Each structure stands twice: as structure tokens, then as C-alpha cells.
Amino acid sequence: MNAPGSALVVEIGRTAQFAWQVLQRSLRPRFASLILPAAHDLGVGSVLLVCIVCAFAGAMLAVQGHASLYTLGAPELLGTFVGYGGVREIFPLVAAGVVGARAGSAIAAEIATLKLGEQLDALTVMAIDPIAYLAVPRFIAAILVMPLVMVFGTLAGLGAAFLTASVQLQVDPGSYLARLYVSLQPFDLWAILIKGVVFGAIIAVVTAAEGFRAHGGTAGVGAAANRAVVRAVIMGSIVNLALSQALFGGWQ
């Protein structure tokens, strides 16, 4: 096995081990009082940005979808296009990417700063488990808040797509909403919530793991934050494909 392949296997193994440690401690959180502040940072601090980005994504999805469907002679199917492409894929993935970039980098940077300042060692000396104190509250907060953030982002994307379609593209609003309503299923809401829980877990675990692995002095903080965002986005994209295949692969 070559060196890059070996390094990849080692990184995956270390992240999986860290995830297991976080999950074990999450069953009986010792610092439950830290969950609410972490949820505020992850949710309230990110929801406005998520809605803005998802709104632009919805507008662009409507424009591109209309252009493609117009060439096929079926612009009235734009509502269906937005329902399938936006609600099931684009909006949840965009929301996860925004939260991962904003909150994920902050988690990694904060923990990396504590580690490089030898404050994690101080916690250990005081008989405080650093993972239980720093990672577990953020993990629990992420899996609780991310589904709600994704719901708000999806609503913002749908609203922007509707306004773009009806005002700019002159699509009949009634026809658009009827197609959108028919294309969506009650299970789509559950799918958003499921993806929110999974993406929240990935963001919290991957970014915290990178913070705990930080090294190299002050520059190590920035490097850890950069690695955290890149790896969280890549892993989230891979898992999103797997979830889409599992949740919607058999749907017609």
C-alpha cells in the first residue's frame, strides 16, 4: 500500500475512533449546561446566512431550470424541477456547507487554540474529560439544531425560487405551486430532518477531531480550521449521495 493510501486509512480510522468516543460520552453528557450555548452558536448564528445563501441558490435553480425546460417545451414543469432538485438535494447540501464553513471552522479553531495553549492538558489535570467538555455539547447541539436550520434554509430557497419564477420568468404562480405540491411528499420533510441529523453529526465530529489534532504553533490553528472545513464538506457530500440513494433511489 502506498503512503498516501496508508495516510488516508489512518485518518479515517482516527476519525472513526474519535466519533465513537464522542457517541459514547453523548449517551450520558456530563456538561449538559453547555449544550444550549453551543446550539445558539450553531443555529441562531448560522440560520440567517443559511437562508441568504439558500435563497440565492433557489433563484439560480429556478433560472437554470426554466432555461433547460423551455428548450424541451415544458417550462410549466419548473415547480417539479425545484421540488425534486432543490428540496431533496440542493438546499440541504447548501445549508450543511454554510454551517460547516461558519460554525465548523470556529469549532476547530477554538479547540485547536486550547490544545496549542496546553489548556486541554489543564482540563485533564483537573479530571475533566476534554472530549466530554468540548466535543460532546457541540455534537448534541449540532444534531438537534441542524434539522431546523435546514428547514429554514429550504423554505428560503423555495420562496426565492417561487418569486424568481413568477416575477422574473413569468411562470404562472398557480401552475408552479400545483406542480411543486404534486412533486413533494410528506417523506421529503422527514428526509430533510434525517439529513440534518447526519450532517450535524458529521460537522461536529470532523471539525472537533481536527481541533484536537492541531499541531505546529499558531499556524496550526488556521491549518486545523482549513482541514476541518474541507473534510467536513467532502464527507458531507459523499454521505449526501449515499443518503439520497437510500431515501429516494426507489422513488419514481
Single pTM value for the model: 0.88
Position 28 pLDDT exceeds 50: yes
Do 203 and 99 touch, CB atoms closer than 8 A?
yes
- CA dist., res. 67 & res. 74, Å (int): 10
Position 160 pLDDT exceeds 70: yes
What residues contact 165, with CB distance under 8 A and at least 6 apart? 62, 66, 78, 79, 82, 171, 173, 176
Tens-place pLDDT, residues 45-85:
899 999 999 999 999 999 999 998 888 888 888 989 999 88
Percent of the chain with pLDDT over 90: 45
Q: How confident is the model at residue 124 (pLDDT cuts 50, 70, 90)?
A: confident
Per-residue b or e along 202-233, where b marks 16 or more CB atoms closer than 10 Å to that residue's CB:
bbbbbbbbbbbbbeeeeebbebbbebbbebbb
The total of other beta-carbon atoms located within 10 Å of residue 97's CB is 20
The total of other beta-carbon atoms located within 10 Å of residue 163's CB is 16
What are the grid coordinates assigned to 159, written together? 420562496
Tens-place pLDDT, residues 101-123:
999 899 999 999 988 888 888 88
Residue for grid cell 479515517: 12
φ/ψ of residue 250, rounded to 5: -95, 5
Position 252 pLDDT exceeds 60: no
Position 150 pLDDT exceeds 90: yes
Report domain extents, the chain: 34-246
Tens-place pLDDT, residues 173-216:
998 899 998 888 888 889 999 999 999 999 999 999 999 988 88
- CA dist., res. 47 & res. 41, Å (int): 10
Instruction: Count Cα neighbours of 233 within 13 Å in the Cβ-side half-sphere.
Output: 16
